[in-house]
């Protein structure tokens, strides 16, 4: 079984400007100390790899799919899958060793909040490991190649097609949330595929905690949860209205440093860029050149 890192960011209240007390002493926020970068996988000796023809074949299939997606020739979809149903445990171990774990992970939650689908990007940007739990206890396991696994987009569309959270009377201390919600609704109505994301930076607006809570209720929270680790962390969740995502950035101390809402198909921070896919083709090709020496 492929172990995926748990989400380390706790769910905490997003506080708007004006909620912090002033202090005469300057207290600088610590800069994040680490960033995920590419490291060439530590591979077994060539004679060991020679015993895992199934794993080598899968990696060549992944490279072929990666080339198609990077060149824009992948059939029917922007992503391609390589299924792992018939792979032996030793071969799967080697595949996991080669792919490693990158900086983006994701979950799709069931209605009761339990994960039904877990996703981990590999060290090769745009190459994703996907585990899907079925109701009978079985697990489907595959590698998906592309900017982001398609199931995340599809789940967000399903969530947005459900009933919109019911309106509630405007609570006290809610001042500016209604105008922000009108702006987001206008952007949703005119949004077209391929359009640049419309970002509303809540951290720069005079919003009270009640404003934030009211907006969270009106937008709703969907079942897609994405975590991008780079300088600090970024937590992304879909809303229960079309093309709308909550994107919250944290520093190395898990303190919110940027709280935003994006109207887009998928926030850019979650996706592997086209140039990253091209770079992954070169990196995986180099690894397989070494593997082929076995």
pTM of the full structure = 0.82
CB 263 within 8 A of CB 156: no
Sequence length of the chain is: 294
Backbone angles phi, psi at 47, to 5 degrees: -65, -30
**Which of 181, 63, 36 lies closest to 121 in space, CA to CA?**
36
Q: What is the pLDDT of residue 294?
A: 59
Tokens at residue 21, please? 């007390």
If phi over 0 gives left and psi between -120 and 50 gives alpha, with beta otherwise, what is residue 54? Answer: alpha
**Which of 67, 79, 30 lies closest to 231 in space, CA to CA?**
30
Q: What is the pLDDT of residue 168?
A: 78
pLDDT in tens, the chain (294 residues): 555 544 443 333 343 433 333 333 333 334 344 444 556 667 777 667 767 889 999 999 999 999 999 988 766 567 889 999 889 999 999 899 889 999 999 999 998 888 999 999 999 999 999 999 877 778 899 999 999 999 999 999 999 988 776 777 888 889 999 999 999 999 999 999 889 999 999 999 999 999 999 999 999 999 999 999 876 799 999 999 999 999 999 987 888 999 999 999 999 999 999 999 999 999 999 888 877 765
């Amino acid at each position: 079984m492929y172990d995926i890192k748990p989400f380390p960011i706790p769910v905490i209240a997003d506080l708007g400007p004006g909620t912090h007390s002033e202090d005469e002493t300057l207290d600088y926020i610590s800069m994040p100390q680490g960033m995920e970068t590419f490291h060439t996988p530590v591979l077994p000796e060539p004679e060991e790899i020679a015993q895992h023809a199934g794993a080598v074949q899968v990696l060549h299939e992944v490279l072929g799919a990666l080339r198609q997606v990077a060149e824009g020739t992948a059939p029917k979809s922007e992503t391609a899958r390589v299924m792992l149903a018939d792979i032996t445990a030793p071969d799967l171990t080697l595949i996991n060793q080669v792919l490693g774990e990158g900086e983006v992970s994701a979950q799709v939650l069931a209605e009761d909040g339990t994960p039904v689908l877990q996703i981990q990007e590999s060290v090769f940007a745009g190459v994703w490991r996907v585990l899907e739990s079925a109701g009978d206890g079985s697990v489907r396991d595959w590698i998906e190649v592309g900017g982001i696994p398609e199931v995340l987009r599809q789940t967000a569309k399903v969530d947005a097609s459900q009933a919109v959270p019911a309106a509630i009377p405007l609570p006290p201390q809610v001042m500016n949330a209604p105008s922000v919600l009108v702006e987001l609704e206008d952007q949703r109505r005119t949004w077209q595929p391929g359009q640049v994301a419309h970002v509303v930076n809540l951290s720069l607006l005079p919003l009270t905690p009640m404003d934030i809570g009211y907006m969270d209720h009106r937008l709703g929270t969907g079942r897609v949860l994405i975590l991008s680790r780079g300088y600090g962390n970024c937590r992304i969740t879909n809303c229960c209205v079309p093309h709308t995502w909550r994107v919250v950035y944290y520093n190395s101390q898990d303190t919110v440093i940027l709280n935003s809402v994006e109207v887009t198909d998928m926030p850019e921070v979650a996706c592997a860029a086209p140039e990253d896919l091209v770079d992954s083709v070169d990196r995986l090709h180099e690894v397989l050149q070494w593997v082929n020496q076995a």
